[in-house]
């Protein structure tokens, strides 16, 4: 039904080899022949069979993303989705496919083994690294090219990664809250088994001590970023004897929970409570007042991270053996609506 290389070459009176070389940009083909071949290929709408190509070359022309059940909730995370979206664009323009595998937690290791063994993919992106991330050693051992979205606790030069500067973003956010007069700031952090959450906490604490503020451990929380987490934590804090005047958190859902708690207690955001989030649609949280900028990993910057990671991976695949490169992206400073004119009437 569809034209193959042999038929194309016959129609041109050339050998399949020559046509293949012309199409793949080999230098030993005369410019005239190449042009003739390219034209014919375009006219016939010829498309090489990726399987045959893969069989012959050993390459898969595909990048894998493995999602074990434990981080399956990640898939509904807009950060994850935007990252994929950015990476997908790069794959598409490089002629690679993106393959997603949903696996049980117990099968994750075997999946990487299988992907590497059968060369089902040319490389993988590792998502949601934990503090001590075993997949990195596995992938290094397998020799399967990879890029990690996020860092973990090991020498930074050991492996390629792309990350947002979480430490700095939370440090800067805390500095801003302090500058606005807040002394008691609650941190509603993510699950601290994840490395990014550790870094965020570190940034927050750094800013506190730099300002000479004592850190109150009873204001530090970490859990999966649900709405209920934000609501319950904020509610109980706000009703306690020594409530915070500001909340620092990252996910929109959790921020919503904080907002709901404040609403129910008759507090208005921007009057009694301040929020800083790394999400970008800040209008959700404000009372529409103009004011202080917030720091954000916006949707577009997350897409950029996805693009960067994909490009880095393509590069690793094209030039194997080179020293691991890394990319640290600084969170954008957004001039969103004010979330915090400062602590008035702290209850």
The residue ranges that bind DNA (CB under 7 A) are 4-6, 13-18, 20-21, 23-24, 27-33, 48-49, 52-53, 55-57
User: How many residues touch a copy of itself (CB under 8 A)?
Assistant: 51
Show contacts with a copy of itself in window 259-318 (CB under 8 A): 260, 263-264, 281, 283-284, 287, 299
Integer Rg of the chain from CA: 25
Q: In the chain, at which residue ranges do the beta strands (DSSP E only) sit?
A: 62-68, 97-103, 123-126, 146-149, 161-164, 185-189, 220-222, 246-249, 274-276, 294-296, 326-329, 332-334
95 or 134: CB nearest DNA: 95
Q: Extract the tokens encoding 232.
A: 């319950």
Residue 13 interacts with, from DNA, a copy of itself, none (CB under 5-8 Å by kind): DNA
Show contacts with a copy of itself in window 50-69 (CB under 8 A): 50-52, 54-55, 60, 62, 67
Least distance from C-beta 324 to a copy of itself, angstroms?
23
- Return the HEC string of 17-69: HHHHHHHCCCCCCCHHHHHHHHHHHHHCCCCCCHHHHHHHHCCCCEEEEEEEH
Least distance from C-beta 44 to DNA, angstroms?
11
Q: Angle 4-8-9 (CA atoms, 0-180°, nearest 5)?
A: 120
264 or 335: CB nearest a copy of itself: 264
Tell me if 97 contacts a copy of itself by CB under 8 A: yes
Tell me if 49 contacts a copy of itself by CB under 8 A: yes
Residue 102 interacts with, from a copy of itself, DNA, none (CB under 5-8 Å by kind): a copy of itself
Distance between CA atoms of residues 251 and 249, nearest Å: 6
Residue 83 interacts with, from a copy of itself, DNA, none (CB under 5-8 Å by kind): none
Tell me if 228 contacts a copy of itself by CB under 8 A: yes
3 or 213: CB nearest a copy of itself: 3
Least distance from C-beta 323 to a copy of itself, angstroms?
25
Least distance from C-beta 81 to DNA, angstroms?
33
Hey, what long-range contacts does 87-91 have (CB within 8 A, 24 or more apart)? 87/63, 87/125, 87/306, 87/307, 87/309, 87/310, 88/306, 88/310, 89/307, 89/310, 90/306, 90/307, 90/310, 90/311, 90/314, 91/63, 91/310
Tell me if 1 contacts a copy of itself by CB under 8 A: yes
> 120 by DSSP, 3-state: which?
coil
Query: 72, 193, 325, 344: which one contacts a copy of itself (CB under 8 A)?
Result: 72
Residue 101 interacts with, from DNA, a copy of itself, none (CB under 5-8 Å by kind): a copy of itself
């Amino acid at each position: 039904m569809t034209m193959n290389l042999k038929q194309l070459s016959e129609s041109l009176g050339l050998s399949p080899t020559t046509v293949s070389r012309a199409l793949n940009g080999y230098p030993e083909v005369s410019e005239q022949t190449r042009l003739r071949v390219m034209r014919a290929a375009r006219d016939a709408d010829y498309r090489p069979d990726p399987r045959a190509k893969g069989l012959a070359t050993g390459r898969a022309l595909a990048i894998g993303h493995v999602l074990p059940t434990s981080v399956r909730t990640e898939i509904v995370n807009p950060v994850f989705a935007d990252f994929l979206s950015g990476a997908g664009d790069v794959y598409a323009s490089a002629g690679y496919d993106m393959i997603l595998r949903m696996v049980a937690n117990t099968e994750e290791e075997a999946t990487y083994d299988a992907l590497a063994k059968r060369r089902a993919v040319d490389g993988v992106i590792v998502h949601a690294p934990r503090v001590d991330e075993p997949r990195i050693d596995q992938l290094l051992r397998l020799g399967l090219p990879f890029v990690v979205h996020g860092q973990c606790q090991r020498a930074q030069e050991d492996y390629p990664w792309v990350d947002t500067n979480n430490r700095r973003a939370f440090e800067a956010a805390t500095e801003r809250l302090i500058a606005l007069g807040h002394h008691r700031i609650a941190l509603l952090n993510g699950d601290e088994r994840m490395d990014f959450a550790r870094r965020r906490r570190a940034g927050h604490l750094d800013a506190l001590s730099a300002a000479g503020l004592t850190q109150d451990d009873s204001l530090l929380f970490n859990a999966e970023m649900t709405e209920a987490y934000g609501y319950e934590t904020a509610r109980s804090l706000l009703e306690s004897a020594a409530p915070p005047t500001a909340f620092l958190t990252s996910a929109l859902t959790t921020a919503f929970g904080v907002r709901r708690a404040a609403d129910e207690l008759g507090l208005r955001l921007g009057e009694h409570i301040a929020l800083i989030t790394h999400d970008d649609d800040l209008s959700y949280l404000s009372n529409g007042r103009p004011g202080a900028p917030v720091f954000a990993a916006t949707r577009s910057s997350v897409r950029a991270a996805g693009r960067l990671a994909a490009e880095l991976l393509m590069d690793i695949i094209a030039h194997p053996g080179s020293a691991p490169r890394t990319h640290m992206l600084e969170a954008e400073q957004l001039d969103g609506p004010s979330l915090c004119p400062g602590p008035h009437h702290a209850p």
